[in-house]
Amino acid sequence: MTLNILYAGAAAGFAPYAEAVTRHLAAAGLSADIACDHAPETVDYIICDPDGPITDFTPFTRTRAVLNLWAGVERLVANPTLTQPLARMVDPGLTQGMVEWVAGHVLRHHLGIDAQREAAAKAEWREDLVPPLAQERAVGILGLGVLGTAVAGALRTLGFAVSGWSRRAKTLPGILCHHGSEGLATLLGSSEILVLLLPETPAPRAILNRETLNALPAGAVVLNPGRGPLIDDAALLAALDRGHIAHATLDVFCVEPLPQDHPFWRHPGVTVTPHIASATRQSTAARALAENIAGVERGAPLAHAVDRGHGY
């Protein structure tokens, strides 16, 4: 039997994904026909970009699963016609990219590299700019899913005092884990560097607002490679202007691309990166897609299935 797999993503990605997914499935003993134009009633699996061409999933009556090409699933979860099982993209390349982005920017702020660059530009010899050791720097992570857990472990390996927060209780080796409203207050109060890695759901929308920003220690740094709506932009700008927040490094935004007239572009306390913290790499994502499909064909549960009740 040949599996009919519909590719519903950017045209430029079709050939690389079709070749790689077909090859990995063949290695698992499965034959696949990957195309962009299969008749809906014949489709077994959909490889789906949330910005892709499918807006109505109703005709896909035979489809056993929809496999997202992104880590974020909020757009697909919001589509009432998508009732088929839905899988998040979880692959080593995406995770490694996020770990590297967060570690790099945490180290930048921890080491005071910006201040050192400013001093060097003025030919100032500043021996007072010696940073503390990593174990003396408290880093908090909001969100302990696949990405948050990987980031927490990497920062802990570097020696940082890492705390994490999730909606439900979790236990991670070497990480001080919090949950619930009291746990959130505790984590915020101790986080000199705060990393946002929560999914976008109605519950944590603008979780970083005037009240929670004020709960951070004076001079804290905020990193957001998670979701733009996790932050109240106006509240963050106000906290930066009054000096309570020292810097914000932001990779995701409520509107993307970030409008050219947005104050984040010109604010001296903000670093903008263009949603590059954790890109889906075809080389590793194709293997993850094939392994998930092969698992379902062997009778295993869909890996990384989305719980629509929680929105992720």
**Nearest-angstrom CA–CA distance, 200 and 204:** 7
**Nearest-angstrom CA–CA distance, 296 and 66:** 12
**Nearest-angstrom CA–CA distance, 176 and 161:** 9
**Nearest-angstrom CA–CA distance, 101 and 113:** 16
* Site of tokens 């490679």: 225
Give the residue numbers annotated as catalytic, written as ranges: 227, 275
Helix (H) or strand (E) holding 5: strand 2-8
Residue 153, token pair as written in the block: 């472990």
Phi, psi of 20 (to 5 degrees): -70, -45
Report CA Rg, the chain.
21
Alpha helices in the chain (DSSP H): 11-27, 74-77, 92-111, 113-121, 146-157, 180-190, 210-215, 233-241, 282-297
Residue 212 contacts residue 187 (beta carbons within 8 Å): no
Q: What secondary structure does DSSP assign to 160-204, as a single string? A: -EEEEEESS---BTTBEEEEHHHHHHHHHHH-SEEEE-----TTT
* Site of tokens 């004076």: 218
